[in-house]
Amino acid sequence: MSDERHGDTAEAREPRAVDELTLYGMSGDLWQLLALREELIEVRESTEAVDADILTYFRGLARKEDGVVHVLGQLKAQERLAVEERDRLEQRAKSFQAKREHLEGYVMRVLAQLPEPRGGGARRLEGETASLVLARNGGVEPLEVYDESLVPDEYCTFTAELTSEEYAACRRVLPESESLRRAVRYADSKRIRRQLLSTCRTCMGSGFNAAGGVCANCGGGRTEPVAGARLKGRGHHLRIS
Ligand SMILES: [Zn+2]
């Protein structure tokens, strides 16, 4: 994204004062800004300028009585319509599928009642341009495990969630184990959270080192760090009442 393009957009917008815009016009411009912002993110350009523009628009909207609330309401209504449309289409697809399966089942029952072909092969009804054939399913025969608890261990594989200590112990016993090497590793959020909430042991929670500088372990955060993880704070949500 070149600076030129953003410049164009800014220029095209400027002559219109926020107060003169209808809500629709204004929201139209807002969508353009939001789209532009997404493009900037995609090409990893700074969104600072467009963010400022967006903020200006929101301030403008807020000046209009309930402007933002109105736009949010419109969006919500459109979202609801889209969901309803999706549900309707899903229902339609299901109905077509049911009809097809019903007809297929009927044809298969008819085919199954035909006498066995003399030369062997599949039962079929020949048409002018196509024929209906009762074909045997390919591939392996389907397997049903109707009671897993009855299957002996030797016919089972095991996946387990191991703590890092248990995993290390297993690796010591079975250092060559391919399965252990392939074991899925994931961050244990419970342990990470506990660590991130515990007092920094280097500065005992003061945030400073002996020389009065920032504690190198916690960076002044006063709690133990975990590489690659951080607590983000509880955040906020928008409620319209
Ligand atoms: Zn510290």
Per-residue pLDDT of the chain (241 residues; tens, 9 = 90+): 444 444 444 444 444 444 444 544 556 677 788 888 999 999 888 888 888 888 887 777 666 656 677 778 888 999 999 999 999 999 999 999 999 999 999 999 999 899 888 888 888 888 888 889 998 888 888 889 999 999 999 999 998 899 999 999 999 999 999 999 999 899 999 999 999 999 999 999 999 999 999 999 999 999 999 999 998 888 877 776 6
Q: Are residues 174 and 211 in the same domain?
A: no
- Residue 25 confidence (pLDDT): 55
Calpha distance 7→40 (Å, rounded) = 13
- Residue 71 confidence (pLDDT): 77
Q: Which of 85, 89, 74, 80 is nearest to 24 (CA)?
A: 74
75 located within any domain:
no
Calpha distance 198→225 (Å, rounded) = 9
131 located within any domain:
no
Rounded to a whole number, what is the largest CA-CA distance in the chain?
Answer: 98
Do 167 and 209 form a contact (C-beta atoms < 8 A)? no
CA of 17 to the centre of ligand 1 (A): 52
Q: Are residues 208 and 173 in the same domain?
A: no
CA of 212 to the centre of ligand 1 (A): 12
* Helix residue spans in 14-66 (DSSP H): 23-42, 48-63
Domain count, the chain: 3
User: Which of 35, 64, 93 is the last residue before a domain boundary?
Assistant: 64
95 located within any domain:
no
CA of 198 to the centre of ligand 1 (A): 11
CA dihedral 130, 131, 136, 137 (to 10 degrees): 30
CA of 111 to the centre of ligand 1 (A): 78
Sheet strands (E) in the chain: 123-126, 131-134
17 located within any domain:
yes
81 located within any domain:
no
Point out which residues pair with 124 in neighbouring strands.
133
Calpha distance 217→220 (Å, rounded) = 8
Calpha distance 57→85 (Å, rounded) = 31
Q: Are residues 161 and 181 in the same domain?
A: yes
145 located within any domain:
no
DSSP 18: G
Do 85 and 93 form a contact (C-beta atoms < 8 A)? no
CA of 185 to the centre of ligand 1 (A): 29
Tokens of 176: 């060559």
DSSP 230: -
Q: Are residues 180 and 197 in the same domain?
A: no
